[in-house]
Amino acid sequence: MKRRVWILATGIFLACAWNGLTAAAGQTSLADAQRDYNAGRYNRAVDALNSAIAISPNEAPLYFLLGQNYYQIREFQHAVTSLERAVQLAPKNSDYQDWLGKAYGRRAEESMLFSAMSWARKTHRQFEIAVELDPQNMEAQRDLIRFEMNAPGAVGGGDDKALRHIEALGKIDAMQGELARGEFFATKKRIPEADAVFRKILESGSDRAGVYFEVSDFYRDHSNADKMAEAVSKVEAIATDDRRLKFYKGVLLVVQKKNPGEAETLLKSYIATVPDNSDFPPHSVAREWLGKLYESLGRFSEAAEAYRQALSLDPHNKQVEEELKRLQKK
Segment 55-94, tens digit of pLDDT? 999 999 999 999 999 999 999 999 999 999 999 999 999 9
Q: Are 64 and 86 in contact (CB under 8 A)?
A: yes
What value does the mean pLDDT take over residues 303-313? Answer: 95
Q: Are 37 and 69 in contact (CB under 8 A)?
A: yes
The answer as to whether 121 is a domain residue is no
Radius of gyration for the chain, computed over Cα atoms and rounded to the nearest angstrom? 23
| CATH code of the domain containing 88 | 1.25.40.10
pTM over cut 0.85: yes
What confidence category does residue 16 fall into, taking pLDDT thresholds of 50, 70 and 90? very low
Q: Could you count the other beta carbons within 10 Å of the beta carbon of residue 183?
A: 22
The answer as to whether 53 is a domain residue is yes
The answer as to whether 256 is a domain residue is yes
Q: What does the pLDDT look like over 157-181, one tens digit per residue?
A: 999 999 999 999 999 999 999 999 9
What confidence category does residue 4 fall into, taking pLDDT thresholds of 50, 70 and 90? very low
CA distances (Å), 47 to each of 16, 54, 218, 277, in order? 27, 11, 39, 18
Residue 89: give the domain boundaries: 17-105
Q: Are 147 and 161 in contact (CB under 8 A)?
A: no
What confidence category does residue 28 fall into, taking pLDDT thresholds of 50, 70 and 90? low
How far apart (Å, rounded) are the C-alpha atoms in residues 311 and 288?
A: 9
Is the pLDDT confidence value at 20 over 50?
no
The answer as to whether 22 is a domain residue is yes
How many domains, the chain? 2
Looking at residue 7, its pLDDT comes to 40
The answer as to whether 124 is a domain residue is no
**Residue that terminates a domain, selected from 71, 86, 105:** 105
The answer as to whether 231 is a domain residue is no
Class of residue 89 by CB neighbours under 10 A (exposed 0-12, middle 13-18, buried 19+): middle
Is the pLDDT confidence value at 1 over 80?
no
SS3 label, residue 32 = helix
**Residue that terminates a domain, selected from 105, 122, 140:** 105
Residue 254 CB partners (closer than 8 Å, separation 6+): 260, 263, 289, 292, 293, 296
Q: Are 34 and 65 in contact (CB under 8 A)?
A: yes
How far apart (Å, rounded) are the C-alpha atoms in residues 245 and 4?
A: 68
Is the pLDDT confidence value at 22 over 60?
no
Write out the H or E segment, with its range, that includes residue 267. helix 260-273
The answer as to whether 3 is a domain residue is no
SS3 label, residue 56 = coil
High-pLDDT (> 70) share of the chain, %: 92
Dihedral sign (CA 87, 91, 92, 97): positive
Q: Could you count the other beta carbons within 10 Å of the beta carbon of residue 213?
A: 22
**Residue that terminates a domain, selected from 59, 83, 105:** 105
The answer as to whether 207 is a domain residue is no
Dihedral sign (CA 9, 10, 13, 14): negative
